[in-house]
């Protein structure tokens, strides 16, 4: 719950955030790639400062991985293709512990 509240504080009313399944969320931002990355990194920093996971007394800050895909007005892609692409980018980020975009 706190995770989604932190996100909602960083996105605008016209942006969309929805739980996609389990621990995955889809966030649609009407921003370019660099602005989206800035928003996500700022949010990630706040999540890491405010949410700790407790593993048998060992506290670790919560983090998250993300994938970004910028859609131009001339591009026509169906939502399933877009989500699959961003999902792959997010897993690449998880595996490499780095930001990945398309």
The CATH number linked to 18 is: 3.30.70.270
Average pLDDT, stretch 16-42? 83
Residue 96 has a pLDDT of 75
The answer on pLDDT for 17 being more than 80 is yes
Q: What is the pLDDT confidence band of residue 74, given thresholds at 50, 70 and 90?
A: low
Which residues, 6+ apart, have CB-to-CB distance to 90 below 8 Å? 24, 65, 66, 67, 100
Average pLDDT, stretch 80-92? 82
Q: Which residue has the tokens 């990355």?
A: 37
Residue 16 has a pLDDT of 83
Q: What is the pLDDT confidence band of residue 97, given thresholds at 50, 70 and 90?
A: low
Structural domain containing residue 61: 2-101
Which pTM does this prediction carry? Answer: 0.68
Per the structure, the count of domains in the chain is 1
């Amino acid at each position: 719950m706190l995770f989604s509240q932190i996100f909602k504080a960083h996105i605008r009313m016209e942006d969309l955030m929805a739980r996609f399944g389990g621990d995955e969320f889809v966030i649609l931002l009407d921003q370019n790639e660099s602005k989206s990355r800035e928003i996500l990194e700022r949010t990630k920093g706040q999540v890491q400062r405010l949410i700790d996971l407790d593993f048998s007394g060992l506290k670790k800050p919560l983090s998250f991985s993300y994938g970004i895909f910028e859609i131009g007005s001339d591009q026509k892609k169906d939502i399933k293709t877009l989500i699959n692409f961003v999902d792959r980018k997010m897993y690449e980020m998880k595996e490499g512990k780095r930001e990945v975009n398309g």
